[in-house]
Chains A and B, each alone.
Chain A
Amino acid sequence: MNKTGTTSKAPPVFDAAAVREDFPILDTRVGAHALVYLDNAATAQKPQAVIDAVSHYYASTNANIHRGVHYLSAEATDAYDRARVTVAQFLNAAEPRECIFVRGTTEAINLVAASWGRTNFRRGDEILLTAMEHHANIVPWQMAAEATGAVIKVIPVTDRGELDLEKIDQLLTPRVKLLALTHVSNALGTINPVRELIKRARAVGAVTLVDGAQSAAHLRVDVQALDCDFFAFSGHKVFGPTGIGVLYGKAAALEKMPPYQGGGDMIERVSFEKTTYRGLPERFEAGTPDISGAIGLAAAIQYLAKFDHTALAAYESDLLAFATDAVAAVRGVRIIGEAPEKVGVLSFVMDDVHPHDIGTVLDNEGIAIRAGHHCCMPLMKRLDLPGTARASFAFYNTRAEADQLANALVKVRKMFD
């Protein structure tokens, strides 16, 4: 979105009021106040369609998959396999088998770091990250680096919260074995130029991983157009259940990787002398998977697919611009993260008021935000902040809620003056 943007114009046509009807939790009252849920970057709420899909699965289809000869097992297996097809379409993956069901983005990145990383990193190889990564896209690489002797390098961030690409040529050299970066910053909302960086990484022979935890709910993701080797996202941030997520990997990359965990479903033949593994995707899905989660995730994706993406994106962009202006107008507030391309997230600080105190006072008004370092301690250190207050938006949020946020911040200001 454009910060100097569109707040004076009428909001684009998108019926948020109708959409809110789909999300039963939005009727929650917090004490005397109606809930204003602005913590969508932490987890998004679930539409009735997702709740129904999960509940219907347990009420009518529950069985273990890929092993039963009976009716229910066949039904459950079919639903699970169809969920994978839905995910593949959502990401525009070339084949469903390139989509591995995992617990979430964190597990997806750990899988790649443990399986691909430990197999391929050699002493002195470089792992290139950015200064705005979530701990989940830092720590697994540190663990792999420690095990292999690879070293971590970091693309810096500007004061405005954008990647500083001035010295990218010095960083992105043939020594870089892997570039792992976030599509959208969870702490700042910055949309990174991932496509361009992937292209440059490929030119020096590096493998690429995109952390899509914050982008999948807002941007249209096309893994083939991005040309990344890996893409990870979490179901619960795209209006699906918790406990399910997806690792997309190019078949050529996944096929060469050793299993991440051993167990049932991932084997071809087991003896005490030797075990052979199945192909994709089963090789990476040891044990009974989160069947209901996969089905719930597919329901969330189908729910999202009902909307015109252009109208939805325009609505979200307008809402973020409106909220940014409203919040920035409160005395003593400073917006953190002023990249021209942002989505979903409004981070800010207030003079002499700690983010946690802001969070507690807002909660008292029924407004849910996140306060703290957002699992981005290196980024907070770079910006020289103990943390920020973060309001994060979904398409069911409204301008009226953004106004409530700003009004509550005025109360915070008065209280701490």
Chain B
Amino acid sequence: MSEELDELYQDIILDHHRRPRNRGRMEEPSAMGEGFNPLCGDELSVFLKMDGGKIVDIKFIGQGCAISQSAASLMTQRVKGKTVPEARAEIADIKALLLGENEPPIAIQERVGDAIALMGVRKFPARVKCATLSWHALEAALGGSGKVSTE
């Protein structure tokens, strides 16, 4: 196995793939967002329960590869209990981490916690969309636009 592949499928990713956190439907969510990757057919829905401007609960359902599923699981852990502006800041950090042309600033790498494990996709351009799908779906849920496609 190459170093790149080990970085892509590191233990945190495989752990979240095997035991996804916050996976499942939510009854009467306050908001919902859907992400769709037409290229590979991955689909993901994010449900939010809001209270006093905070994300008090979050769930996701969907199907896709290990990267997209573990990224969704990591995402829910990152933003549960956060305010909307804090969650938006998390989204911005992840975009900088995965989509930025240059190596992301150390400050961001340190801020994102376990989600740093997603950085392995930077060496696999075809898989970046898998890692960002759930964050786009979260953005859609926060923004009220409901649906988002990675294309």
Nearest chain-B residue to A353 (Cβ)?
B66
Given the interface pairs A360-B127, A361-B5, the reply to whether A387 lies near B40 with Cβ below 8 Å is: yes
Contact status A411-B65, CB under 8 Å = no
Nearest chain-B residue to A414 (Cβ)?
B1
Partner of A356, one of B1, B5, B127: B127
Contact status B9-A415, CB under 8 Å = yes
Which residues of chain B (1-42) have a CB below 8 Å from chain A?
Answer: 1-2, 4-5, 8-9, 14, 17, 39-42
**Distance of A386 Cα from B69 Cα, bound (Å):** 14
Q: Does B140 sit at the interface, judged by CB under 8 A?
A: no
Contact status B41-A387, CB under 8 Å = yes
Contact status B64-A377, CB under 8 Å = no
**Distance of A386 Cα from B64 Cα, bound (Å):** 8
Q: How far is the CB of A186 from chain B (nearest CB, A)?
A: 16
Which residues of chain A (350-385) have a CB below 8 Å from chain B?
Answer: 353-357, 360-361, 364, 371-373, 377, 380
Nearest chain-B residue to A373 (Cβ)?
B41
B2 / chain A contacts, CB cutoff of 8 Å: 31-32, 364
**Distance of A115 Cα from B106 Cα, bound (Å):** 60
**Distance of A208 Cα from B63 Cα, bound (Å):** 38
Q: How far is the CB of A80 from chain B (nearest CB, A)?
A: 36
**Distance of A57 Cα from B9 Cα, bound (Å):** 48
Interface size class of B (residues with CB under 8 A): 20 to 34
Partner of B5, one of A360, A373, A380, A387: A360
Q: Does B97 sit at the interface, judged by CB under 8 A?
A: no
B8 / chain A contacts, CB cutoff of 8 Å: 360
**Residue of A380, A386, A411, A416 contacting most chain B CB atoms (<10 Å):** A386
**Distance of A355 Cα from B68 Cα, bound (Å):** 12
**Distance of A361 Cα from B67 Cα, bound (Å):** 12
Contact status B5-A364, CB under 8 Å = yes
**Distance of A377 Cα from B43 Cα, bound (Å):** 13
**Residue of A31, A361, A364, A372 contacting most chain B CB atoms (<10 Å):** A364
**Distance of A353 Cα from B131 Cα, bound (Å):** 16
**Distance of A152 Cα from B127 Cα, bound (Å):** 36
A354 / chain B contacts, CB cutoff of 8 Å: 64-66, 69
Q: How far is the CB of A408 from chain B (nearest CB, A)?
A: 11
A31 / chain B contacts, CB cutoff of 8 Å: 2
9 inter-chain pairs at a CB distance below 8 angstroms, sorted by A residue, are A356-B67, A356-B127, A360-B5, A360-B8, A360-B127, A387-B41, A415-B1, A415-B9, A416-B17
